[in-house]
Structure 1
Amino acid sequence: MTKTSAGRFFEDYAVGDLITHAVPRTIKMGERALYHALYPARHALHSADTFAQACGLPFSPLDDLVTFHTVFGKTVPDVSLNAVANLGYAEGRWITPLWPGDTITATSEVIGVKQNSNGKSGVVWVRTTGRNQHGEALLTYVRWVMVRRRGDGPVPATVVPELADSVSPDDLVIPRGLDFTHYDFALAGEPHRLGDYRVGEIIDHVDGVTIEEAEHMLATRLWQNTAKVHFDATHRPDGKRLIYGGHVISLARALSFNGLANAQLIVALNGGAHANPCFAGDTVRAWSEVLDTAPTVAPGVGAIRLRLVATKGSAGQLRDAEGRYLPDVLLDLDYWALMPA
């Protein structure tokens, strides 16, 4: 009897399937140290207990993207081990902060399937939820993936889910106790509050980071992401290892500190696309566009909706005249963050 697994192929998914992902992960301060070593992450709320306590929290939570990467990594063996591409995200919400010592588990529900016209692959939509050891939801999001077919057997009936264009500000979950009324702008690194940003404003985050082969593979292993394209140079015809898209997300988010140092917490993921592949040797830069702002019920806390773009090119450049992503664009991410009102 075969004891190894080649992973799931498109034919192995059916709407309504609930997948329990293996290998719970207890997250401690080592993850923070590694995260800050891998990315130029400097947001104060995720760096210092004293700063977090002055903002009403018991201590500093782990970076929001640590939650995302850990949950995402749990799903790879069951959802995207045989993926051609990770196509997009929607309806993402961070619900409970991740504290040092928490144990993460994850499940995914298949909510859509559609075979591609070439007959060699199909798109699978899943809604993934990460939970802590108390059963509390940490994060939930939808993603869709193009997955290879195994052969010429029967395929599941097409179901394409209806997804919201964005998360409503009314549905944003504010961490219990968060209070920015005595926020220390000097310690945070910039003076800008919510009212200083205008819808349509473009922020060039100025700095760049050149990706090295070793660091992206270290990061991907840290999140226990087993996708072959990130490690196996024989898996692609060009002999290159594809950079994990989440690595690009974290680089861009960290670079956004320069201009958005007070966008302290990510609370929703409205949508996103990995527009073009990223490889070792690429220098990643980032820019943001302000899409919306909203008040929240928490004292002194506002919400800002941002488009975060990772690129090898210039700030503000996204699509060509036909509406296609420019070849230098790596990531187009739409999210909500919390900052002082």
Structure 2
Amino acid sequence: MPTLPSFLRPRPRSPPPPSPITTYYLTTPYSSNQQALRSIPSSSHPSEIPSGSLIFSFTHPQLSISKGTSFFLDCIPDPIGFLYHSSFFISKHLSPNNEQGKIEWRHQLIQLELENKDGLAATSGGKIVISLKWIENIMNQVKRNEKSKQSAIKEFKGVLLHELVHTIQHDGFGSTPGWLIESIADYVRLLGKLGPDHWRKSGSGKIEKGYEDGYDIGARFLVWLTTNDPEILDDTSRISYDGGELIPVEYAIQPSQTPTSTATSNDAKPTQYPDPNWNQGYIENHSLNKSKPKHRPGPYPDLIKLIDSRLKFERWDDSWWQEMTGLNLDDLWSSYMAYYGRF
């Protein structure tokens, strides 16, 4: 029998890549004396989740085939623990009735997945997907000494916090403007001192309706509306950051026993931060304009809490700005621009 030419011989098939690893973590009710957050075998994923409990899951490629995953876990060794304890910080700034630290979970299953995809991150229902391509880009910046590892840790935690806000905040049955949804997520990120250095400073943005850019622009605006000293979050040199001192880890209180759901939707909303080099409306070397007006609206410290609590039961309405502050949105933005001497 003649020998087949080499190019006609069947090539040995490459073995399929190892399957991703998924670990489940179960929280315990507030009244329980058990450990607050403990891992459970994947094969033991309960079909019925105990009342008052919450399940987190973490899915990622095996470390042997994913340098990005290894770097991420080197920076954030316990991402589920960070998410769990961050949820109390989020609730503190979104819920008007958070004196006891209880959270009304919208989802009973919170999934975190590292996936080899474009973009940065996306959240749908209770599922958070972080791009490994983005993680690897940060990793390479650290290797080239363009970014410190501490800066990478801060950025990873900031994105995790931003995405987790989306699993907790209310959206008025899908009626809330996208810019406000993203601005609130970054507002919480700013309050957690997890905004990256390349974010635009207070007073940045387009003169007309600049709030529509959302994200860091909208977050600075919301901080200005709700706090007495919004500029303190601009100057990172004034912030003592040790990797999460604002996240209440040691004394976290368990979730409240409220009806929750494990359902997720397919309309994942990608996080799309602006190019750091894009400078429209960006204030370089930020300092307050001495001629700024002494008076400004507010502050309205409970504004975001009131908005989120209404969105739980009502569809969004632009008239809320007038109801809650006495000014419409465009007038508030104009006052914000004037405060920083933009016109």
TM category (shorter chain) comes to: under 0.3
TM-score, with structure 1 as normaliser: 0.25
Larger helix share, 1 or 2: 2
Pick the structure with greater CA Rg.
Answer: 2
Is the strand fraction higher in 1 or 2?
Answer: 1
TM-score in terms of structure 2 length: 0.25
